Amino acid sequence: MDQVEPPECPVCLQPYAAGFTVPRVLPCGHSTCEACLKQFPNPFPHTLRCPVCTLLSKFSNSPSSSFPKNIDLLHLSSLLQELPVKPKTVISQSPPLAGNHSLPFEFSSKSWSHEFYSKWKKWIIPRDSILLEKSTFETFDEIFDGKDLGSFESSSEMGCVLREEEKVGLVKVGIFLDGSDESKLFSYSYESRIISVLYGMREKERIELVSILNLSSRICRVGEVYGFWYNENDRFVYMVCENFKSTGLLKSVHNEEEVEERLNCDKMIGFGIVGMEMCEILSCLHLEGLIIGCLGVNCFVFNDFGRVYVDFSKVLNMGRRVNKVMKRGLKDLEVSLKTEILENLVFISPEMLLELFQKEGFELDSGKSRYEVGSGSDVWSLACLLAWLIIGSSFIEETATYLDCVVNAASDGKGCPYFSLYKVWMEKTEALLGHRLGSEYVPLKEFLFRCLEFNLSNRPPVTELWKCLRELVIKPKFDCGVSLKLEVKKEIKGHCVVLGDLCQRVEETNKEVIDGLPQNYDNGRANVRRDVVEGLSGGHVECIDMKGHLDCITGLAIGGGFLFSSSFDKRVHVWSLQDFTRVHTFKGHEHKVMALVFVDGGQPLCISGDNEGVICIWEACFPFDEEPIKKLYEQKDWRYSGIHALAVSGTEYLYTGSGDKLLKAWSLQDHTLSCTMSGHKSVVSSLIVCNGILYSGSWDGTVRLWSLSDHSPLAVLGEETLGNVTSVLALAADNNLLLVAHENGCIKIWHNDLLVKSLKTHNGAVFSTSKKGRWLFTGGWDKTINLQEISEVGDQIDTMPVGSIACDSVITALIYWQEKLFVGQSDRVIKVYYGV
């Protein structure tokens, strides 16, 4: 026969023995060793939780002296151990607490994870922060103007700041389609709409967005990108960018009216300074692995101090315009290239043009091997921009002629001699540069000519162009040898913005993917019921009305296969959970019924209390009786009377919260008053029992915690804010989290006795809460049910507003049960929401 192992501590798994591993008996009957008792965290002063049943126990001085030794376990252990036990090594692992066990169920909701939400939420700009000043929404790629209505600082690491009345630029990045035409019950939250659009993007698009957001924070010469804002009028999500007051490089540098045969020295110095700053910006972008692909004059702007910046909102707009033009047929392409590209002074490198033509199915014969778009493409575009600044309109005319020849040759279908046409354009450009620069600036002309080489590998890096332009400002003999710190290699390709997904989208929307969920619902699924949260996430929720009460609903409870509801009409109704019909009515109260609870014991009970202090105990099983099996009476006080809240602890005690500021514990065995708990300074409005603790909320704005073992006080929450009292109206508890609903619309989340989160969820009092797993439902005065997702990551508590259900009356009671949400309203109706 196998040898019987000696009993061991359930925490450290060390056998019990005299000395260091002496077993101590907790009030619940379970035992653990002295060493582990000393390591248990104390959720409240002089308390600890049993590692087996999680019951909260109190002790006086120390755990080892307050709890007796388990002599039987110690004796048995000594008999079974053949060898003496060595002193136990203390394990540094924390003992398991009640909050660590897994939940018995798991909702399915939107597809994105908490990590995805945490990553992007720091870039969400508040709903009321932006005012859209331009009202036309005709093109997807248009930049809109707006202004900030209130200061905002993002929670990103770099802390982008929007100041009040600051002008901003808005670029569309996606449209929110909730697919909720079939169900208008649920409205997604502002945050959910933005996250849905971001999640519905392709991974490459999100990578581009991250690159742009990070670059705007790291590189000082790039216009800031503040985050994302959702416009409810057109349903678009916008990227909010810095809006420069400057009119851009076009009007600030080049003046067509001042055409001279030669550029004077002063203008060349100014030209060199501006060109150097543009080179510095491109150098920084290339080092970060980002290539624009083609450059337009309006991409560069001046700040208030005359420094050159790159505006990424205009870069994206330019890229979308280029892609939109290339999607047109060859018949329209010739006109489009002139009107949309050259008139806006956008310069597309030969390899970029090849890429765009081939992507749309037009074949160009370059006569050379194909070159991939890389950092040299930006060098080519910048050289064109500089050439335009030097030559003027003649350069645009020659470029237009060159593009016309390319399009016409491609439309013939005989193959376009692309390289030959490009070579002709190069020769004419060289002649124009020589005419304007003369003999004094021959090195500059030759260097720009090198930058315009057809072969990408023959173009110099942007740092060499910077050095050439620097010689226009500082003569070599006076130069101190300053240079760009980092050299950009010619072979660096990087990620091209214009060829990226953000610019390729043009007018695409997420029609196939909405909120990250495939929209494959058909008529055959309309009758399939599923979890209400899953239905809310997909925009498919239906509702059933249960009518029968004659006044406001005050409470809901579920047990024994029935739903019990109380009301101001002095009655308690019993409803079938199968077909949601009323099966019985309890008629024992003579006053308004304020609260009710269900007791699941050997004899199932429904207990209700009214505003005159009368407690009715009903037998909650079929067949039902109209009269209660027992009535209990609270002592009346002419100043305060009536029961406002009920709670039960298993089958031992019934707890009542009353208008006389007291909590009372009633024995469920003999129906006698066991004890009275005092401390609140106003009406006890809500009660809940969880993990060995009785929580009581009051109109005095505090929540008091009581031990279920001896009904002694443990802690007081919210006492420090008595100067600004907001009454507690509802409580929800789950593991070590307590959620407190206040009359000002706020929900406060407490972990043991520490406030970890406070959020405004409603416009008005919150009368009811219901928490299941990570989902929190709240309802109140504003006739709205809000759904929040609560995430626990380590010691951090995070919340995300998922959405809301607009109701036609004030919400007075909420309860979630088996994938359905039951809602009691002030208009006498009980609604049942479920997903389809």
Same domain (yes/no): 160, 55: no
Q: Per the structure block, which two tokens stand in for 394?
A: 């003649």
- The letter for the amino acid at 499 is L
The reported pLDDT for the residue numbered 80 is 67
CA distance 603 to 645: 22
- The letter for the amino acid at 406 is V
Same domain (yes/no): 79, 182: no
Q: Encode pLDDT of 536-564 as tens digits.
A: 766 677 889 999 999 999 999 999 889 99
The reported pLDDT for the residue numbered 677 is 94
Last residue of a domain, one of 69, 100, 131: 100
Residue 181 lies in a domain: yes
The reported pLDDT for the residue numbered 524 is 33
DSSP state of 124: B
Range 472-482 average pLDDT: 66
Q: Looking at the 3D structure of the chain, how many domains does it have?
A: 4
Same domain (yes/no): 399, 461: yes
Does residue 476 surpass a pLDDT of 90? no
Q: What is the 3-state secondary structure (H, E, C) of 506-549?
A: CCCCCCCEECCEECCCCHHHCCCCECHHHHHHHCCEEEEEEECC
The reported pLDDT for the residue numbered 149 is 61
Q: Per the structure block, which two tokens stand in for 680?
A: 């609140």
pTM of the full structure = 0.74
Local confidence band at 607 (pLDDT 50, 70, 90 cut-offs): very high
Same domain (yes/no): 276, 418: yes
Closest to 793 measured CA to CA, from 113, 48, 156: 113
CA distance 748 to 756: 8
Same domain (yes/no): 45, 154: no
Helix (H) / strand (E) containing 473? helix 462-473
The segment with the largest mean pLDDT, out of 54-63, 221-230, 594-603, 635-644, is 594-603
Query: Are the CB atoms for 673 and 661 separated by under 8 Å?
Result: no
Stronger pLDDT, 694 or 360, i.e. the higher one = 694
Q: Encode pLDDT of 626-672 as tens digits.
A: 889 999 998 877 667 789 999 999 889 999 999 999 999 999 999 99
Q: Write out the residue range of the structural domain in which residue 330 sits.
A: 249-489
Does residue 723 surpass a pLDDT of 70? no
The reported pLDDT for the residue numbered 257 is 43
Same domain (yes/no): 123, 73: no
Query: Are the CB atoms for 800 and 812 separated by under 8 Å?
Result: no
Closest to 43 measured CA to CA, from 56, 61, 30, 59: 56
Does residue 333 surpass a pLDDT of 80? no
Give me the helices (H) in 520-656, please: 532-538
Range 388-397 average pLDDT: 86
Does residue 134 surpass a pLDDT of 70? no
Does residue 381 surpass a pLDDT of 70? yes
Least confident of 19-33, 154-168, 439-453, 724-738: 154-168
Residue 688 lies in a domain: no
Same domain (yes/no): 139, 159: yes
- The letter for the amino acid at 161 is V
Local confidence band at 413 (pLDDT 50, 70, 90 cut-offs): low
Last residue of a domain, one of 242, 272, 293: 242
577 burial via Cβ count (<10 Å: 0-12, 13-18, 19+): middle
CA distance 420 to 577: 81
Does residue 482 surpass a pLDDT of 80? no
Residue 637 lies in a domain: no
Q: Per the structure block, which two tokens stand in for 247?
A: 């009119």
Residue 819 lies in a domain: yes
Does residue 528 surpass a pLDDT of 50? no
Give me the helices (H) in 245-374, please: 249-253, 265-287, 312-326, 330-336, 350-359
CA distance 429 to 447: 13
Number of neighbours of residue 555 by Cβ within 10 angstroms = 23
The reported pLDDT for the residue numbered 125 is 87
Range 736-751 average pLDDT: 92
CA distance 254 to 237: 36
CA distance 3 to 82: 11
The reported pLDDT for the residue numbered 160 is 55
Helix (H, G, I), strand (E, B) or coil at 228: strand
- The letter for the amino acid at 77 is S
CA distance 488 to 460: 10
Beta sheet of 737-742, edge-to-edge order: 728-734, 737-742, 746-751, 754-760
Least confident of 84-93, 420-429, 731-740, 798-807: 84-93
Residue 418 lies in a domain: yes
Local confidence band at 261 (pLDDT 50, 70, 90 cut-offs): low
Residue 515 lies in a domain: no
The reported pLDDT for the residue numbered 90 is 39
Residue 495 lies in a domain: no
The reported pLDDT for the residue numbered 169 is 81
Same domain (yes/no): 345, 388: yes
**Residues 168, 223, 288, 503, CA torsion sign:** positive
Query: Are the CB atoms for 712 and 738 separated by under 8 Å?
Result: no
Last residue of a domain, one of 210, 242, 274: 242
CATH number of the domain to which 193 belongs = 3.30.200.20
Task: Give, in order, the Cα–Cα distances in Å from 312 to each of 292, 349, 352.
Answer: 10, 19, 19
**Residues 419, 425, 429, 430, CA torsion sign:** positive
CATH number of the domain to which 372 belongs = 1.10.510.10
Same domain (yes/no): 430, 546: no
Stronger pLDDT, 486 or 460, i.e. the higher one = 460
Q: Encode pLDDT of 235-258 as tens digits.
A: 889 888 887 766 556 555 554 444
Reduced DSSP (H G I as helix, E B as strand, rest coil) percent helix, strand, coil of the chain, to 5: 30, 30, 40
Strand partners, 55: none
Stronger pLDDT, 279 or 109, i.e. the higher one = 279
Query: Are the CB atoms for 419 and 367 separated by under 8 Å?
Result: yes
Range 792-807 average pLDDT: 83
In 189-235, DSSP assigns E strands to 225-230
CA distance 785 to 832: 13
The CA-based angle 648-653-658, given to 5 degrees, is 70
Say what percent of the chain tops pLDDT 70.
77
Q: Per the structure block, which two tokens stand in for 445?
A: 């002309």
Same domain (yes/no): 182, 311: no
Q: Encode pLDDT of 70-110 as tens digits.
A: 777 777 777 766 544 444 443 333 333 333 333 233 333 45
Say what percent of the chain tops pLDDT 90.
23
Q: What does the mean pLDDT of the chain come to?
A: 79
Q: Per the structure block, which two tokens stand in for 778?
A: 């709240």
Q: Encode pLDDT of 666-696 as tens digits.
A: 999 999 999 999 999 999 999 999 888 999 9
CA distance 718 to 741: 12
Residue 437 lies in a domain: yes
134, 139, 143, 146: CA torsion to nearest 10 = 20
The reported pLDDT for the residue numbered 525 is 34
Q: Is the peptide bond before 7 cis (omega within 30 degrees of 0)?
A: no
Stronger pLDDT, 19 or 207, i.e. the higher one = 207
Cα 34 to chain centroid distance, Å, stands at: 45
Same domain (yes/no): 256, 236: no
Range 397-406 average pLDDT: 82
Does residue 189 surpass a pLDDT of 80? yes
CA distance 152 to 165: 11
Same domain (yes/no): 238, 253: no
Q: Per the structure block, which two tokens stand in for 571?
A: 């009655």
The reported pLDDT for the residue numbered 368 is 53
Q: Encode pLDDT of 1-57 as tens digits.
A: 456 677 888 888 778 877 667 888 887 778 888 778 777 777 777 787 787 777 777
